[in-house]
């Protein structure tokens, strides 16, 4: 035995180390009689959520993918047609117009939502600490989209709407907000912004609270103005939050349906006929569920591609801290 080994054996094990070792051995012993029912209990507790997920998410998704390769019109059994629905999709002018209208709406709605939300969150963070004001900001998000669309359709009515009454009272000319090809999508986008900006503002506000106050103190010492600190400190440090907000808003805007279904129903002359509206009309208007499923699968693929590109371009997992 060497001198080093003798000295090592002579040193007693600390009491805290021995206690930690006994605790670790006790925790590892998951096969003890007292732990034998834990796995069964765990499966029982998660079973309702798992069953709901399988029944209402996994099965409809797999069923929709299968129907996209069939000719299915409800009253007859699905007939396998392979890629015929997707070939028809490539030559469908209404589909491409709906895709263009959807992209136009997404660009307008997401740009306005993120811009307004960032400014609102910055004001909440820098100028007020009132929880009442913060609560009022998120109220529109809590309102049903159908209710919000109905109220706004009344307010934007050409003859009786309060918005046109206010415009005419100021000496302007009333506008056909929801019945004009040029104004239909911008008007719907403004309703979407009003509905969702509160939720987006709260997310950005939470991100602003993670920025240390010392960052702004250093900026003031260097003589930076509020605008300069916002552009050169706040926005770069918010990159991960802004990436999340943009991705969520793009996905939500691509899935817009209820607002359009209540206000314009895709009109006038398909000017607001977004993909979701066209899919609905094909499925529940013409009962062509096979072709509607093919369009839904195409929309799903588009969303995956756009999300991946956004996450890569926005560098969602890092902020400009250096």
Question: In this predicted model, what pLDDT tens digit does every residue of 233-291 receive, in sequence order?
Answer: 888 888 888 888 998 899 899 989 999 999 998 888 888 999 999 999 999 988 999 99
**pLDDT tens profile 164-214:** 899 888 888 888 889 888 899 999 999 999 999 989 998 998 888 888 888
pLDDT tier, 23 (very low <50, low <70, confident <90, very high otherwise)? low
Which candidate, 245, 251, 260, 250, places its Cα nearest to that of 145? 260
Question: Rounded mean pLDDT of 85-110?
Answer: 93
3-class secondary-structure state, position 267? coil
Rounded to whole angstroms, how far apart are CA atoms 100 and 270?
11
- Counting residues of the chain whose pLDDT is more than 70, the rounded percentage is 85
Answer yes or no: are the C-beta atoms of 107 and 322 closer than 8 Å: no
Whether the model pTM is above 0.85: no
At residue 268, the pLDDT reads 86
Question: At residue 72, does pLDDT exceed 50?
Answer: yes
Question: At residue 58, does pLDDT exceed 90?
Answer: yes
At residue 35, the pLDDT reads 61
């Amino acid at each position: 035995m060497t001198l080093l080994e003798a000295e090592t054996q002579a040193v007693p094990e600390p009491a805290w180390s021995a206690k930690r070792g006994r605790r670790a051995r006790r925790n590892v012993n998951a096969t003890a009689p007292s732990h034998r029912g834990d796995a069964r209990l765990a499966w029982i507790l998660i079973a309702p959520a798992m069953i709901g997920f399988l029944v209402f998410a996994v099965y409809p998704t797999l069923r929709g993918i299968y129907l996209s390769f069939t000719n299915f019109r409800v009253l007859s059994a699905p007939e396998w047609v392979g890629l015929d629905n997707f070939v028809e999709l490539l030559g469908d002018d209404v589909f491409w117009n709906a895709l263009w209208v959807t992209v136009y709406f997404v660009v307008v709605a997401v740009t306005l939502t993120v811009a307004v939300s960032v400014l609102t969150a910055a004001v909440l963070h820098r100028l007020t600490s009132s929880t009442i004001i913060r609560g009022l900001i998120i109220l529109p998000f809590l309102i049903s989209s159908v209710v919000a669309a109905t109220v706004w359709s009344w307010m934007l009515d050409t003859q009786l709407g309060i918005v046109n009454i206010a415009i005419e009272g100021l000496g302007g000319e009333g506008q056909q907000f929801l019945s004009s090809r040029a104004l239909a999508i911008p008007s719907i986008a403004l309703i979407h912004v009003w509905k969702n900006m509160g939720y987006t503002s709260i997310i950005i506000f939470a991100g602003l609270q993670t920025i240390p106050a010392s960052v702004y103190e250093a900026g003031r010492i260097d003589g930076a103005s509020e605008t300069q600190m916002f552009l050169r400190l706040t926005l770069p440090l918010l990159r991960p939050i802004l990436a999340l907000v943009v991705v969520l808003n793009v996905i939500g805007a691509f899935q817009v349906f209820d607002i359009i279904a209540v206000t314009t129903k895709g009109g006038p002359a398909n000017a607001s006929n977004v993909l979701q509206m066209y899919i609905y009309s094909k499925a529940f208007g013409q009962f062509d569920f096979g072709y509607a499923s093919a369009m839904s699968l195409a929309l799903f693929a588009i969303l995956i591609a756009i999300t991946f590109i956004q996450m890569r371009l926005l560098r969602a997992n890092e902020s400009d801290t250096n």
